[in-house]
Structure 1
Amino acid sequence: MKKYIITLLISAIILPCFAQKDAQAKKILDQTSTAFANAGGIKATFTIKAGGGQTKGTLQLSNKKFLLNTNDATTWFDGKTQWSYLKHSDEVNISVPSEEELQSMNPYALLNIYKKGFNYQYNGTVGNNYKITLTPENKKNAFSRIVLLISKTNYQPQHITLEQQKNKSEITVTGYQTKQSFSNSLFQFNKKNYPHAEIIDLR
């Protein structure tokens, strides 16, 4: 479940019905990407609905570094090394993730992924949000479609729907704070806090 949730929270995309790049969608996505780039340190809280269950979590970001905490796992990434702590088994997996793997770990990577290899379509508004659908040019992509709801007020993502064949997952952003200041140590695993955890080095 942990790996499934993290993969959702995070990665590549899709939809076979729009084979075009919509100018209005691009304008909104560009403004969203710029707002994200100017936000500084970010702390976001969220819920994920998938497979009939619901998970809550927190994501703290600073440039490419992040700390992701859910009910099942905690993941640290300091810009090079990634530590994933599995709560149910009390073990830590250490790895050096690829760019593609990082995109699957950080949901906000979706805010820039549209720039290469994706089609996008503006679908009007839902409440106070713009609705944008992303679809991969490569039909072998892991997901079939991604739908973003982006605030018309501040261009912050409010809701992300990920579709994968017969599966659908929904990420709802419940809190979003910008201009946060984080120490570098926040994004690194500290063994002192997990003295009994089994360390599995996959590097």
Structure 2
Amino acid sequence: MKKNISILVFLLCVFGLSAQNAKDILDKANLAYNKAGGITASFTVNTEDVKGKTVYSQDGKAYLKGNKFKIDVPDGITWFDGKTQWVYAKGSDEVNVSNPTGEELAGVSPSVLLSLYKTGFKLNYKGEKKEKTKTVYIVEMIPLGKKTEFSKMIVTIDKATNIFTSVSTYGKDGVDNHLIINKIQTGVNLADNIFIFNKKEYPGVEVIDLR
């Protein structure tokens, strides 16, 4: 009986430590992002089907500062100034303007993504691994609600800088998305107008106000 109790206590300690480590790691990553100031990053997004075959891949660049962002990919550009969002499909003749909800921002906003773990997720620390010259932490986030479109999220975080290096979501429909940060620079001086659509730079584009 004592042996069984000892094993149970050991397991509880191990799993409790795992969850605590996962939250601590994400807390540090969130703090590092908030202290980073302006950020520029180049990234790749790979979409895979249920068999693990890449069906779509695109490179892009992100400009980030607090809750503001500009995301530029081959298909289009998204600006968000902390309240208003502009979405422009490249080659089209219109840009859509909206005041997105927190749920709508979760899929595109880095600051919202970095806060997701605080509620509604079971966190699992999955250890460390080498990524080229970096050692990264691996954290698994499993949503507790049934309404999410993905079954789990895996994030990797640079052990030396506490900055995210990748985010993977595993869709319930069998489609997985992997965001990989190729290069990142912090402490960049970014003017606030970078995060606002400038109509003068897009002559002939109609502004569709959805607010």
Q: TM-score range by the shorter chain?
A: 0.7 to 0.9
| Distance in 2 of aligned mates of 1:136 and 1:98 | 19
Could you tell me how far 1:198 is from its partner in structure 2?
2.6
Q: Which residue in 1 is equivalent to 2:51?
A: none
Q: Which residue in 2 is equivalent to 1:183?
A: 191
Q: Which residue in 1 is equivalent to 2:124?
A: 121
Equivalent positions of 1:1-203 (< 5 A) are 22-51=19-48, 52-127=55-130, 128-165=135-172, 166-203=174-211
Runs of 4+ that moved beyond 6 A? none
What letter is aligned with 1:175? Answer: K
> Residue by residue, what CA displacement relative to the aligned partner does 1:72-103 show, whole Å, maximum 9, x if unpaired?
01011111111101114232001111111122
What letter is aligned with 2:22? Answer: A
TM-score, with structure 1 as normaliser: 0.86
The answer to which structure, 1 or 2, has the higher relative contact order (CA under 8 A, 6+ apart) is: 1
Q: Helix, strand or coil: the match of 1:133? A: strand
1:162 and 1:170 in contact (8 A); partners too: yes
What letter is aligned with 2:129? Answer: V
| Distance in 1 of aligned mates of 2:162 and 2:82 | 26
Could you tell me how far 1:104 is from its partner in structure 2?
1.7
2:71 and 2:77 in contact (8 A); partners too: yes
2:67 and 2:111 in contact (8 A); partners too: no
Q: Helix, strand or coil: the match of 1:139? A: coil
Q: Helix, strand or coil: the match of 1:195? A: coil
Q: Helix, strand or coil: the match of 1:153? A: coil
1:159 and 1:172 in contact (8 A); partners too: yes
Could you tell me how far 1:21 is from its partner in structure 2?
7.6
Q: Name the larger-Rg structure.
A: 2
How big is the alpha-carbon RMSD for the aligned residues of Structure 1 and Structure 2? Answer: 1.7
5+ long unaligned stretches in structure 2: 1-14, 49-54
What letter is aligned with 1:109? Answer: V
What letter is aligned with 1:81? Answer: T
| Distance in 2 of aligned mates of 1:61 and 1:143 | 25
1:60 and 1:66 in contact (8 A); partners too: yes
| Distance in 1 of aligned mates of 2:165 and 2:113 | 13
| Distance in 1 of aligned mates of 2:28 and 2:193 | 31
